Structure 1
Amino acid sequence: MATRLLGIDFGTGGAKACIIDDQGEVLAYAFREYPIFHPRPGWSEHDPETYWRVTCEMVQQVLRDTQCLPQEIAGIAVSSALPSMVLVDIQGRPVAPALNLMDRRALEEVDVIRTVVGESVIEDVTANRIEDHPNLVNLFWYKRNKPQIYEQVHKALTIDGFIVSRLTGEFTLNTSSAVFYGVAFDIRKGVFHNDILEALQIDPDILPRLCDSTDVVASITPDAALVTGLHPGTPVVGGQVDCNAGWIAGGAVDAGDMQLNLGTSGVLGVVHQNMDYLNSPDGLRMVNIPYTTSPRDTFSAVAVTTTGGQALRYLRDTFGEGEADVERLLKVSSYDLITLQARDVAPGSEGLLVLPYLMGERSPIWDTSARAVMFGLSLHHHRGHVFRAFMEGVAYALFDSYSVLQRTGLTINHPLIFNEGGAKSDVWRRIITDVFGIPTAMLKGRTGAPLGDAILAGVGVGIFDDFSVAKSWCKYREHLEPDQQNHEMYMEYFQLYKNIYSNVQGNFQDLQAIVRRHQS
C-alpha cells in the first residue's frame, strides 16, 4: 500500500519539496532558488518555465534521496506564494512572464475597478482590500495594456495551479488560493460573482475550475511521469496558499494559533473562526484567507510586510559581494555572515531607522507608492548597523500589523511560533521577540510549506483522518522571553518609525508621479 506523500511549495524566491511517511517523518527535502526580474520600477516577474524545470529537478532529487519507488507516493499537493499569476494558452503554455506578489504595475487599474465596481462592494464580497493587487486586477491590466497577450489567454493560473496543470493536464484553483484573485471572489461562499466579472468584461471561462484544498482534482499524466519520475495515475489534491501550508506544518490548526514566516515577504497569521472580523469596518483590515482545515468557517487573518526576508536578499545581492565570496570559498552562509555583523550592533542600531518598503507595503498601511527610507545615517554607522536596521525595520512593520490584530478582539495564543525563512536567524528572532514584547519559540525541523502540503495530500487521499496529526507531530524549541528594557526602547523607536512614514507619505506619491512622467 502506498503511504508516502509528496509536497511541493513555490515561494517568491525559490521552491521546496519533501517526501514524508505516514508518521510525519521527513524522508527527503530539496530546495531551488530562482531569479526575480524587475524590468521596470514596481514590476516583479519570474520566468514561468523555471517553475516546471525546478519541479522536475526537485521531484527527481527527493525520489532519489529516499530511494522511494514512484508507486509508493500516495498523493501530492502543491502550494505557492500569492498573489501570483501565470497566463497560459489552451495548450497550457505561458504567454507572458509570471507576476509575483511584489508586482505593483496595476496602479491605474485599481482606481478604474474602484469606480466600475465600487470599493465597498469589493470589500463586502472579498473581505479584502483591492490594494493588495489580486490576480483579477493584474488580469485587467493585461486586458487594458497588453490586449495582444490577453487575447491568447485560455486560463489565468496561480503558480501552484500552473504546476498542477503540468502534472495533470487540468486547470484548477483551490478556494484557499482563490481569495487572491480578489474583486469578484466571495470569501464566504467560495464562488466568483459573474456580475462583477461582467462589469470588468472578463470572461468567467478564463478562470480555472474551483475546488477545495482537500479535493482530489486529477492524477499524474504519463507525460508528466516521464519527466518527473512520478508514477502515472498518482492522485493530486487541490492545494493551498503557501502561508497556510507553512502554518499547517507548524501545527497551527486551532483558533488563536499564531505563526510567522520570514520568507520573501514577512507573513504573520492568526487562525480564527470569527465571521465578524471579515466585516471589519475600521479600514485597517489584514489579508483574510479561507483556512485549509475548513475553508467555509475557518480563516487566517494575515499581516504581510511585502519585503521581509527579501530585504536581506536585496542587501546580500546588492551590497554583499564580500559575503558571497566567503560563501563560495568556505561554504558559510552569506546570510549568517550578514546577521553576525548585525548581532554585534546594539539594539536600536545606534539611532539608525529603516522603513523597509522596498516594493511598496501591504498591511496595515496599504501603500503601493511607499519605498524604503534610511533615517539617521551618520559617519559612525557601518555595514552591521545597516543590516541590523533593516532587520529591525521589518520587525517594526510586522509589529505595526500585530498591534492591529490585538485590537480586533481575536483570540491570540502565545508563544508566537517562528516557522520558515529568515526566522532561523537567532539575531532576528531576538529582535522580533523584543519588539513584540511577547514570548516566542521556533518550530523544530522547519521543513515548512512542503511538509504542510504533504499533510494536505495525506488528508485528501485518506491517509490521515484530519489535520490534527500536524499538531501532534510538532515540537517547539529555543523559547525566548522578551527583554523588557529592550522592548521599551524599541517602542520609542517604533513611534518614531510611524512618524517618519506619516511625514513622508505624500512625498512617496510625488516621487512615483515623477518616475511615471519620465518613463512615458
Structure 2
Amino acid sequence: MSALLAGIDVGTSGVKVGLFDADGRLLGLGRRRHAVSHPRPGWAECDPELWWRGILHSLNAACQAAGLAARDVSALGVGVLFPCVAPLDADGRPLHPAILYSDQRSLAQVAAIERAVGRHEYEHTIGNRLVPGTCAATSVAWLRDERPAVWRRAATFGFANTFVTGRLTGRFRADPSMAGLSGMMDIRQPGRWSEELCERIGLDAGRLPPIIGSSEVVGEVAGAAAEEAGLSPGTPVVCGAGDVIACAVGGGARRPDTCIYIAGSTDCTALPMTEPTPDRRWANTAYAAPGTWLGIGATTSTGVAVEWFVREFLGDAGEQGLQRMTRLATSADPGAGGLLFLPYLQGERTPVWDPQARGAFVGLTAGTSLADMARAVLEGAAFAVRQAFECAGGVLLDPATEVRMVGGPTQNALWNGIKADVLGRPLDVPAFQETGTLGAALLAGLGAGVYSSFGDAVDIARPTDVRTVEPDPARAARYAELSAAYARLYAATCPIAHMLGDLA
C-alpha cells in the first residue's frame, strides 16, 4: 500500500481529519464540532481536551469512510487555529483553557508591554501589531499576572500544535508560524525565541517549546495515544503549522502571484512573500518553506457575524439557518437599502487592529426589513475583506494576482457573488475545498520523506477544477461607492465603541 497521510485540522469551531494518498486524493474525511467558551465579555477560550476528543472521533470517522484502519496511517500532520496559548504541565495536560486569538482579556498586559518596551520599538522588533490575543505574549503575560498558580505549574507555554503533537508523541515543540505571531520572536532572527525580548516583558523563554520546522518530525506516536487512537506505535508526527499556513500549502500557493483567501469564522488572505511586509495592517509569519514568509490580512468576525445573525435574528443555526438567511438576503437589493453593517463583534484586526472596536448597523430606518439586515451582514463581511485586500500595496486587487477562495462559506453562491462584486475582481473557487487537511497531510508527507521538496508537495495541491466567480460591473460600481462609506465607519464609531467598552 502507498503512503497514507493523515491531515489534522483543529479549527476555531471544530476538528477535521482527512486521509490522503501520496497523490493528494482524499480517501476519507471525519469531523466534529466543538464550542468556544466566552465566560466574560471579550474572552474567548477552549478546552484543549475538546480538540483531542474531536481528533479521536474524526480520525475514526475518516477511517470508516475510507475503509481503512488508523494503524495504516504512515504519517500525521496538523494545522491549527493560531495564535492560541495553552499552558501545559510536564505531562502535557492542560492547566487552563487555551486562550484564543480573538481573546481581549489582556489589555492591561498590552499597556504593560508598552511601558516596558514602547509600542513602536516592540512592533518593529516582532514585525507585527501589539494587540491582545493575536499577539500571544499578551496572553502568556495575563496568565502570569492573573493565574499565578498556573504560571508556577506550567512546564510549557505552548500552542495548539504543541498540545496535539505532544499528546501524540510526548514531545513538545512549536513551529515558526507560531513563533512569528507570538510577540516573543525578533523578526530579524526568525526560528528562535528572543530571550532578550522575553526578559524585557517579564516572560520566561525557557518555558517556551523549542522551535522546529513545520514539516519536521516532532516524534513518533507512542504509548497511550497509540492505543487510544488506534495508530501504530512509531508513526511519525510532524510539527505542522497554523491553519492559514496549512490552507495555503493545501491550496497550492508557492509564489507571490497566488493568494489563498480562506473564508470561515474569520476571513484571512494569505500571500507567500520572500520577506516580511512592512505594511503593519497585515500580519507577518513564517511560511512552511524555509526562509519564506506569509503575509496575512486577517479579519476577526466575518463568519462569526453570520452565525450571530442566524442565531439571534432568525433563532436558527447551522446550514438550515444559513439557507434561511441567504433566501432573505437574495430578496433584498444590492446595498441593502442604504444599510451598512460593521462586523466588529470581537474587535477587529486588519486594518484597524483595535480589540475594543464594536459592530454596528448604520442606516436603519422604519423601512428597513429583515432581508435588508441579512444582506447588510453579508455585504459588511465582504467590505471588511476588501479593506484587507487594499493593504500591502493593493496587490490583491490586481487581476494579475490569482486569488483562490477556499473554506465552507464558498458553498454559498450568493455570498461568493457579493464578494466578487465588492472586491471588483474575479475569484477562483476550486472544486476541492479540504485545503486545511490536505496541507497538513502534505507537511506530514514532506517530513516522512514521501516528497523530496516543498515544491513537489505543494504542486500536488495545485487545483485543476476551478470555477471563476466574475464581478458584475454595475453591482461592482455600486459597491465601490458603498465601500467608501464603509471605510469611514470605524473612525466615526471608534470613540463611542471605546466608551461603551469602558462602561461594560
Give the TM-score taking structure 1 as reference length: 0.92
Mapped pair 1:356 → 2:350: no
Deviations 1:219-251 (A, max 9, x none): 101210111111111000120110111121111
Specify the code of the residue in structure 2 equivalent to 1:60.
N
Distance of aligned partners of 1:301 and 1:359 in 2 relative to their CA distance in 1, 3 Å threshold: same
8 Å CA contact 1:256–1:412 kept in 2: the answer is no
Which of the residues 400, 408, 421 maps onto 1:421? Answer: 408
Mapped pair 1:253 → 2:249: no
Aligned residue number for residue 495 of structure 1: 484
How many angstroms apart in 2 are the aligned matches of 1:195 and 1:478?
Answer: 49
Give the TM-score taking structure 2 as reference length: 0.95
Aligned residue number for residue 518 of structure 1: none
How many angstroms apart in 2 are the aligned matches of 1:433 and 1:57?
Answer: 37
Matches within 5 A, 1:351-430: 351-407=338-394, 413-430=400-417
Deviations 1:13-71 (A, max 9, x none): 11111000011110011111111111111101112211111111111221222222444
How many angstroms apart in 1 are the aligned matches of 2:478 and 2:131?
Answer: 33
Secondary structure of the structure 1 residue equivalent to 2:78: strand
How many angstroms apart in 1 are the aligned matches of 2:417 and 2:303?
Answer: 15
8 Å CA contact 2:259–2:272 kept in 1: the answer is yes
Give 1:514 deviation, angstroms: 1.2
8 Å CA contact 1:95–1:153 kept in 2: the answer is yes
How many angstroms apart in 2 are the aligned matches of 1:437 and 1:286?
Answer: 21
Deviations 1:415-435 (A, max 9, x none): 321111312211111111011
8 Å CA contact 1:176–1:212 kept in 2: the answer is no
Secondary structure of the structure 2 residue equivalent to 1:260: strand
Aligned residues: 501
Deviations 1:235-281 (A, max 9, x none): 001201101111211111222211211111110121121x3x5444x
8 Å CA contact 1:246–1:420 kept in 2: the answer is no
Specify the code of the residue in structure 2 equivalent to 1:485.
A
How many angstroms apart in 2 are the aligned matches of 1:411 and 1:113?
Answer: 38
8 Å CA contact 2:181–2:284 kept in 1: the answer is no
Aligned residue number for residue 289 of structure 1: 285
> Which stretch has the larger CA shift, 67-76 or 40-49?
67-76
Aligned residue number for residue 26 of structure 1: 26
8 Å CA contact 1:253–1:468 kept in 2: the answer is no
Distance of aligned partners of 1:432 and 1:368 in 2 relative to their CA distance in 1, 3 Å threshold: same
How many angstroms apart in 2 are the aligned matches of 1:291 and 1:411?
Answer: 22
Give 1:188 deviation, angstroms: 4.4
8 Å CA contact 2:60–2:70 kept in 1: the answer is no
Aligned residue number for residue 305 of structure 1: 299
How many angstroms apart in 2 are the aligned matches of 1:342 and 1:422?
Answer: 15
**Unaligned segments of structure 1, at least 5 residues:** 516-520
Aligned residue number for residue 318 of structure 1: 312
Matches within 5 A, 1:410-489: 413-466=400-453, 467-473=455-461, 474-489=463-478
How many angstroms apart in 1 are the aligned matches of 2:171 and 2:247?
Answer: 25
Deviations 1:379-411 (A, max 9, x none): 333332222111111111111121122347998
Aligned residue number for residue 180 of structure 1: 181
How many angstroms apart in 1 are the aligned matches of 2:452 and 2:327?
Answer: 44
How many angstroms apart in 2 are the aligned matches of 1:359 and 1:32?
Answer: 24
Secondary structure of the structure 2 residue equivalent to 1:209: coil
Mapped pair 1:203 → 2:204: yes
Please report the RMSD computed on the Cα atoms of aligned residues, expressed in angstroms.
Answer: 1.9
Aligned residue number for residue 80 of structure 2: 80
Aligned residue number for residue 131 of structure 2: 131
Secondary structure of the structure 2 residue equivalent to 1:181: coil
8 Å CA contact 2:259–2:396 kept in 1: the answer is no
Distance of aligned partners of 1:366 and 1:379 in 2 relative to their CA distance in 1, 3 Å threshold: same
8 Å CA contact 1:357–1:372 kept in 2: the answer is yes
Runs of 4 or more, structure 1, over 4 Å off, are: 407-413
Secondary structure of the structure 1 residue equivalent to 2:5: strand
How many angstroms apart in 2 are the aligned matches of 1:185 and 1:162?
Answer: 24
Matches within 5 A, 1:126-275: 126-131=126-131, 133=133, 134-186=135-187, 188-273=189-274, 275=275
Deviations 1:331-375 (A, max 9, x none): x63323322321222111111110000000001111111010001
**Unaligned segments of structure 2, at least 5 residues:** none
Give 1:461 deviation, angstroms: 0.9
Distance of aligned partners of 1:19 and 1:187 in 2 relative to their CA distance in 1, 3 Å threshold: farther
How many angstroms apart in 2 are the aligned matches of 1:264 and 1:499?
Answer: 24
